[in-house]
Amino acid sequence: MSQARLEPVHVDSLAAVEGAPGELLTAFAWVRRVSPGRTRGGKPFLDLELVDRSCAVAGKIWEDAGAAMHAAGDLERGAPVKLLFRVDRYQGALQLNIRGLRAIGDDEPGYDPIAVFGDGHARVASSLCRALVFDIETVPAVDREAAPASVTRAIERHAERFDGDVDMVMGLSPLLGKVVSLAYGEGDSDGDAEVTALVVPPADHDERRQADYPAWMKPVSEVELLRTFWTLAEHAEVVITYNGRGFDVPFLVARSLVHQVPARVDLLGNPYALRPHLDLYRVLTQGRAAGPMTLEIVCWALGIESPKDAMDGSQVAPAYARGEIESIAEYNRRDVEATTALYQRVREQLLRFRDDW
Got the DSSP string for 264-322?
A: -S--SS-TT--SSEEEHHHHHHTT---S---HHHHHHHHTPPPS-SS--GGGHHHHHHT
Q: Does domain 121-353 have CATH number 3.30.420.10?
A: yes
The CATH superfamily assigned to 9-117 is: Nucleic acid-binding proteins (2.40.50.140)
C-alpha to C-alpha distance for 139 and 194, rounded to whole angstroms: 25
The CATH 3.30.420.10 domain(s) of the chain lie at: 121-353
C-alpha to C-alpha distance for 306 and 300, rounded to whole angstroms: 6
Mapped onto helix, strand or coil, the DSSP state of residue 325 is helix
Going by DSSP bridges, is the β-strand pair 25-38/56-62 parallel, antiparallel, or unpaired? unpaired
**Tens-digit pLDDT profile for residues 234-262:** 999 999 999 999 999 999 999 999 999 99
**Tens-digit pLDDT profile for residues 63-107:** 999 999 999 999 999 999 999 999 988 888 889 999 999 999 999
Q: Which residues pair with 199 in a beta bridge?
A: 181, 219
C-alpha to C-alpha distance for 78 and 61, rounded to whole angstroms: 18
Strands (E), the chain: 9-10, 25-38, 44-51, 56-62, 80-90, 93-103, 131-140, 177-186, 196-199, 217-219, 238-241, 277-279
Helix (H) / strand (E) containing 226: helix 222-235
What pLDDT does residue 124 have?
92
Please give the backbone phi and psi of residue 134, each rounded to the nearest 5 degrees, phi first: -145, 165
The CATH 2.40.50.140 domain(s) of the chain lie at: 9-117
pTM metric for this prediction: 0.89
Are residues 299 and 305 in contact, defined by beta-carbon separation less than 8 angstroms?
yes
What pLDDT does residue 157 have?
86
**Tens-digit pLDDT profile for residues 132-151:** 999 999 999 988 777 888 88
Grouped pLDDT means (10 residues each) for the chain, 357 residues: 69 87 91 95 96 94 96 93 93 91 95 93 92 97 83 83 80 93 95 89 94 96 97 96 97 98 94 94 84 91 81 88 96 96 96 92
What pLDDT does residue 3 have?
55
Mapped onto helix, strand or coil, the DSSP state of residue 1 is coil
C-alpha to C-alpha distance for 303 and 301, rounded to whole angstroms: 6
